[in-house]
């Protein structure tokens, strides 16, 4: 079935594949392929780049950010040697007019199929599970009645180090290439790497060797851009491909590229399969082993099915069936895939090459693993704990490979550690994590994870205002508030709410750690904080946002612009700061003043004038990104806040409005991919109202999963068991959820014959009725490895 079809494509294979039928999508529509170490991003034109370990510091192939041209990539030319006509397997770089063109972006792979002059080409790209290598399987079929003699030419530019490689005349001096005729492999190395070294600045080798080879022995090769392309020529019609001859250049100081020529002749209706490999290893010997292993079609086919199995085993751990197919597709497949492949493993996209770990970012993202494989969340927690200073402060981000990091004046980063630890405990009840000792950045002796969490909280308590509110410094969760409190006077209402949530959640943690005084202290602090937030943070009709160093209120009715901020409303509910009446009051305001066609905007109205005392948020055009756009990450919190208050229609509506499949129904307005979340959608103040951008590399994916799965479908990990607490559209008759919780698998079916939106009246587990309280139910913790059937009845 062709689901959610637009003029550019549709979902296939139960939503697990997005098929692009028109390559002229309004923006590059990309896929991200990675095994957590090696990775590649590929667009529907066939453009993109590859990396190992860090997409910024260790980019294997060159790419420059130009989403309009999208003309940097690793390409494959196909040439008919009888008449010299050529095209490319992807639409770029030749931009021929194929008779057929289709791109299938799937989980862990992309396949580009094209037909030109009677030759069908299917280029399948993916990354092996167990090796730093990208595999291309090219299947060529002769659909004509004539014998055809073809040459394939691969092409990529070596980057081999930090990206962007903008000063190419400098960097090319350190690149070296060689062709090993025995294995038919191009090897690339670089004698400079821009990461810190014990020998001083820029005095370190790039510590890898890149390789590129094919299953059919190449008949020729080239490592020189000049001889391949021709001076003043371009990739659309490179000299070598026109002439049908590669010049076999290699060595140092070239504009280094990798190109292999592979010949292929095809009888009528004949099909042949050819493999190309691109990878990078620490030692050449390792590369040779990988080459040997993956040089056959059989081994590549096996690697492909192993890769698919790996993803199935991850994504298949949770499964939902609701009457809303767009929700099913996002919750079952793409949000989890985006959070894992895009945010945790690849940490890159077309809109932003990160490479680094953001302290707050990847911790939040790692929540995606809680219902899938919580040991991965644990790994992430411990990694972040090691990037904290002994005074509790943390790096805002740091780069794996170089370990260079940015100490921060942002004030929320450190608190995400206790936040995620507490979510991990709810999921697993694995208290042992709190005792694990991890070093600090400036104290290798380290301390227990519990102590790391305590130091984060205590650090915030060294930065409180006289009114008992936390200072905002160079920004809270909102990066754009970069100047609000740089003199350490301005306060953040949101940070206070967030801190309140953490204090409450850490009370059981302190009790577990036999630290009763701390538990009492946290309770007292939470009470005091809540009182201050509710008096000092209240603006009459809603919570304002922050105070500047001058004391001026932001996000207030008295503010000339940016009169109302979203996060202080949603988090007053999420953090249990507002009482019930106020909670509804502020969410009414959110619906009335912040909700638009593309979800809730972060600020309204957007700032039209840059304000040096607020920060760069005010420098975006009004309606864009943090300045009045729908910031998807924050918009997912709207869903949670509504659902927490059982405002079911509003919760589902807010979810659907930011669902990329729904937004993508108008692709020329929305422009972004319909299968992954965007960082932002332009708000009503923008001239591009409704336009999505910054896809893949956004913290919204994991949170949107949480909002839909835990809060609308209402299946949440709790301290004493699995909570079932639906908040669904009334029209739904039933839905089902599969979820693993503390080792046991639950198959939950929720029936709604009376068309209500909430309120459980009966639960039967494995044939036995279990108690329901106040319309909710807590499934007692089952035996590890057991399977349970849970039937839930909603009603009045």
Site residues (CB under 6 A) for ligand GLC? Answer: 358, 360-361, 477-480, 626, 679, 699
Pick between residue 194 and residue 479 the one whose CB is nearest to ligand GLC.
Answer: 479
Q: 678-681 and 630-631 as β-strands: parallel, antiparallel, unpaired?
A: antiparallel
Pick between residue 114 and residue 627 the one whose CB is nearest to ligand GLC.
Answer: 627
Nearest to 151 by CA among 81, 246, 76: 81
Residues 6+ apart with CB under 8 A from 719: 425, 426, 429, 508
Pick between residue 177 and residue 700 the one whose CB is nearest to ligand GLC.
Answer: 700
* Distance in Å, CB of 634 to ligand GLC, minimum: 7
The alpha carbon dihedral of 577, 580, 581, 586 has a sign of positive
Which three-class secondary structure state does DSSP give residue 271? strand
Q: Give dist(CA 168, CA 158) in Å, integer.
A: 11
Q: Give dist(CA 453, CA 388) in Å, integer.
A: 10
Nearest to 344 by CA among 320, 369, 317, 308: 369
* Distance in Å, CB of 696 to ligand GLC, minimum: 12
Question: For residue 411, how many other CB atoms are within 10 A of its CB?
Answer: 26
Stretch (H or E) spanning 52: strand 48-52
* Distance in Å, CB of 698 to ligand GLC, minimum: 6
Per-residue three-class SS string for 108-175 = CEEEEEEEECCEEEEEEEEECCCCCEEEEEEEEEECCCCCEEEEEEEEEEEEEECCCCCCHHHHHHHE
Pick between residue 132 and residue 679 the one whose CB is nearest to ligand GLC.
Answer: 679
**Under 8 Å between Cβ of 389 and 472:** no
Pick between residue 626 and residue 723 the one whose CB is nearest to ligand GLC.
Answer: 626
* Distance in Å, CB of 227 to ligand GLC, minimum: 42
Pick between residue 31 and residue 478 the one whose CB is nearest to ligand GLC.
Answer: 478
Pick between residue 398 and residue 477 the one whose CB is nearest to ligand GLC.
Answer: 477
**Under 8 Å between Cβ of 371 and 717:** yes
Pick between residue 21 and residue 352 the one whose CB is nearest to ligand GLC.
Answer: 352
Pick between residue 310 and residue 383 the one whose CB is nearest to ligand GLC.
Answer: 383
Q: Give dist(CA 744, CA 736) in Å, integer.
A: 17
Nearest to 615 by CA among 493, 476, 421: 476
Pick between residue 358 and residue 374 the one whose CB is nearest to ligand GLC.
Answer: 358
- Going by the DSSP 8-state scheme, the letter that residue 85 receives in this structure is -
Q: Give dist(CA 641, CA 650) in Å, integer.
A: 10
Residues 6+ apart with CB under 8 A from 768: none
* Distance in Å, CB of 426 to ligand GLC, minimum: 23
**Under 8 Å between Cβ of 234 and 274:** no
Pick between residue 9 and residue 496 the one whose CB is nearest to ligand GLC.
Answer: 496
Distances (CA, A) of 736 to 86, 328, 505, 796: 52, 11, 29, 20
* Distance in Å, CB of 143 to ligand GLC, minimum: 47
The alpha carbon dihedral of 554, 557, 559, 565 has a sign of positive
Could you give phi then psi for residue 206, rounded to 5 degrees?
-70, 120
Q: Give dist(CA 44, CA 23) in Å, integer.
A: 6
* Distance in Å, CB of 239 to ligand GLC, minimum: 43
Q: Give dist(CA 213, CA 200) in Å, integer.
A: 35
Which three-class secondary structure state does DSSP give residue 782? coil
* Distance in Å, CB of 374 to ligand GLC, minimum: 23
* Distance in Å, CB of 630 to ligand GLC, minimum: 12
* Distance in Å, CB of 405 to ligand GLC, minimum: 14
Pick between residue 106 and residue 623 the one whose CB is nearest to ligand GLC.
Answer: 623
* Distance in Å, CB of 644 to ligand GLC, minimum: 21
Pick between residue 175 and residue 635 the one whose CB is nearest to ligand GLC.
Answer: 635
Question: For residue 765, how many other CB atoms are within 10 A of its CB?
Answer: 18
Pick between residue 410 and residue 434 the one whose CB is nearest to ligand GLC.
Answer: 410
* Distance in Å, CB of 691 to ligand GLC, minimum: 17
* Distance in Å, CB of 626 to ligand GLC, minimum: 5
Pick between residue 142 and residue 366 the one whose CB is nearest to ligand GLC.
Answer: 366
Could you give phi then psi for residue 154, rounded to 5 degrees?
-85, 160
Pick between residue 223 and residue 603 the one whose CB is nearest to ligand GLC.
Answer: 603
* Distance in Å, CB of 477 to ligand GLC, minimum: 5
Distances (CA, A) of 615 to 59, 198, 365, 579, 618: 32, 37, 26, 32, 6
Residue nearest to ligand GLC (CB): 479
Rg (CA), the chain: 27
Burial 579-591 (b: 16+ CB within 10 A, else e): eeebbeebbebbb
Pick between residue 225 and residue 360 the one whose CB is nearest to ligand GLC.
Answer: 360
Pick between residue 480 and residue 545 the one whose CB is nearest to ligand GLC.
Answer: 480
* Distance in Å, CB of 763 to ligand GLC, minimum: 38
Could you give phi then psi for residue 706, rounded to 5 degrees?
-60, -45
CB < 8 Å & 24+ apart, contacts of 523-531: 525/461, 526/500, 528/468, 529/468, 529/469, 529/496, 529/499, 529/500, 529/503, 530/500, 530/576, 530/577, 531/468
* Distance in Å, CB of 195 to ligand GLC, minimum: 22
Q: 744-751 and 787-794 as β-strands: parallel, antiparallel, unpaired?
A: parallel
Q: Name the residue with tokens 């969410």.
A: 587
């Amino acid at each position: 079935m062709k689901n959610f079809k637009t003029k550019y494509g549709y979902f296939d294979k139960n939503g697990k594949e997005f098929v692009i039928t028109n390559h002229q999508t309004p923006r590059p529509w990309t896929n991200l392929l990675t095994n957590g170490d090696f990775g590649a991003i590929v667009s529907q034109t066939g453009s993109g780049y590859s990396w190992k370990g860090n997409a910024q510091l260790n980019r294997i192939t060159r790419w420059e950010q130009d989403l309009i041209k999208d003309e940097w990539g690793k390409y494959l030319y196909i040439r008919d040697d009888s008449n010299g006509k050529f095209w490319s397997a992807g639409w770029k770089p030749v931009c021929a007019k194929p008779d057929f063109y289709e791109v299938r972006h799937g989980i862990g792979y992309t396949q580009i199929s094209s037909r030109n002059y009677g030759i069908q080409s299917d280029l399948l790209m993916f990354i092996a599970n167990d090796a730093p290598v990208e595999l291309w399987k090219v299947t060529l079929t002769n659909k004509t009645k004539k014998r055809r003699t073809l040459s394939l030419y691969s092409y990529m530019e070596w980057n081999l180090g930090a990206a962007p490689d903008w000063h190419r005349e400098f960097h090319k001096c350190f690149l070296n290439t060689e062709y090993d005729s025995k294995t038919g492999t191009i090897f690339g190395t670089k004698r400079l790497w821009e990461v810190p070294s014990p020998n001083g600045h820029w005095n370190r080798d790039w510590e890898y060797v890149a390789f590129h080879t094919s299953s059919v022995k190449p008949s020729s090769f080239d490592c020189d851009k000049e001889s391949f392309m021709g001076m003043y020529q371009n990739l659309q019609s490179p000299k070598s491909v026109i002439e049908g001859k590669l010049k076999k250049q290699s060595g140092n100081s070239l504009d280094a590229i990798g190109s292999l020529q592979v010949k292929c002749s095809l009888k009528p209706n004949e099909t042949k399969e050819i493999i190309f490999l691109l990878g990078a290893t620490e030692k050449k010997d390792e590369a040779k082993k990988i080459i040997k292993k993956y040089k056959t079609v059989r081994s590549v086919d096996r690697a492909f099915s192993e890769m698919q199995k790996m993803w199935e085993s991850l994504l298949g751990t949770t499964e939902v069936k609701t009457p809303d197919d767009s929700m099913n597709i996002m919750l079952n497949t793409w949000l989890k895939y985006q959070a894992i492949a895009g945010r945790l493993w690849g940490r890159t996209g077309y809109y932003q090459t990160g490479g680094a770990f953001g302290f707050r970012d990847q911790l939040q993202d790692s929540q995606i693993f809680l219902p899938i494989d919580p040991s991965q969340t644990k790994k992430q927690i411990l990694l972040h704990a090691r990037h904290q200073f002994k005074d509790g402060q943390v790096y805002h981000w740091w780069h794996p490979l170089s370990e260079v990091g940015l100490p921060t004046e942002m004030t929320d980063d450190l608190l995400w550690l206790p936040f995620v630890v507490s979510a991990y405990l709810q999921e697993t009840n694995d208290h042992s994590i709190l005792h694990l000792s991890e070093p600090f950045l400036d104290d290798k002796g380290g301390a227990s994870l519990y102590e790391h969490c305590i130091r984060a909280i205590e650090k915030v308590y060294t930065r409180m205002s006289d009114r008992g509110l936390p200072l905002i410094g160079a920004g809270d969760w909102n990066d754009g508030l970069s100047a609000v409190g740089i003199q350490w006077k301005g306060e953040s209402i949101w940070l206070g709410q967030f801190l309140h949530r953490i204090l409450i959640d850490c009370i059981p943690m302190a009790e577990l750690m036999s630290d009763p005084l701390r538990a009492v202290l946290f309770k007292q602090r939470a009470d005091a904080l809540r009182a201050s937030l509710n008096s000092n943070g209240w603006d009459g009709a809603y919570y304002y946002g922050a105070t500047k160093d001058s004391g001026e209120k932001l996000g207030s009715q008295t503010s000339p612009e940016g009169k109302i901020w979203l996060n202080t409303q949603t988090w007053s509910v999420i953090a249990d700061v507002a009482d019930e009446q106020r909670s509804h009051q502020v969410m009414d305001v959110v619906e009335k003043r912040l909700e638009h066609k593309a979800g809730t905007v972060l600020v309204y109205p957007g700032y039209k004038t840059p304000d040096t005392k607020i920060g760069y948020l005010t420098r975006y055009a009004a309606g864009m990104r943090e300045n009045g756009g729908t910031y998807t990450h924050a918009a997912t919190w709207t869903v949670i806040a509504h659902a927490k208050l059982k405002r079911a229609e509003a919760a589902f509506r807010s979810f659907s409005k930011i669902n990329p499949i729904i937004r993508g129904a108008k692709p020329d307005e929305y422009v972004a991919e319909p299968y992954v979340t965007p960082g932002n959608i332009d708000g009503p103040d923008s001239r591009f109202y409704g336009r999505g951008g910054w896809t893949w590399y956004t913290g919204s994916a994991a949170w949107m999963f949480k909002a839909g799965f835990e809060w609308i479908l209402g299946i949440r990990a709790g301290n004493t068991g699995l909570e079932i607490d639906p908040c669904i559209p009334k029209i739904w008759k039933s839905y089902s959820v599969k979820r693993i919780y503390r080792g046991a698998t639950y198959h939950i079916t929720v029936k709604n014959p009376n068309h209500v939106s909430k309120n459980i009246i009966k639960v039967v587990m494995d044939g036995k009725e279990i108690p329901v309280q106040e319309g909710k139910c807590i499934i007692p913790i089952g035996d590890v490895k057991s399977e349970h059937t849970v039937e839930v009845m909603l009603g009045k």
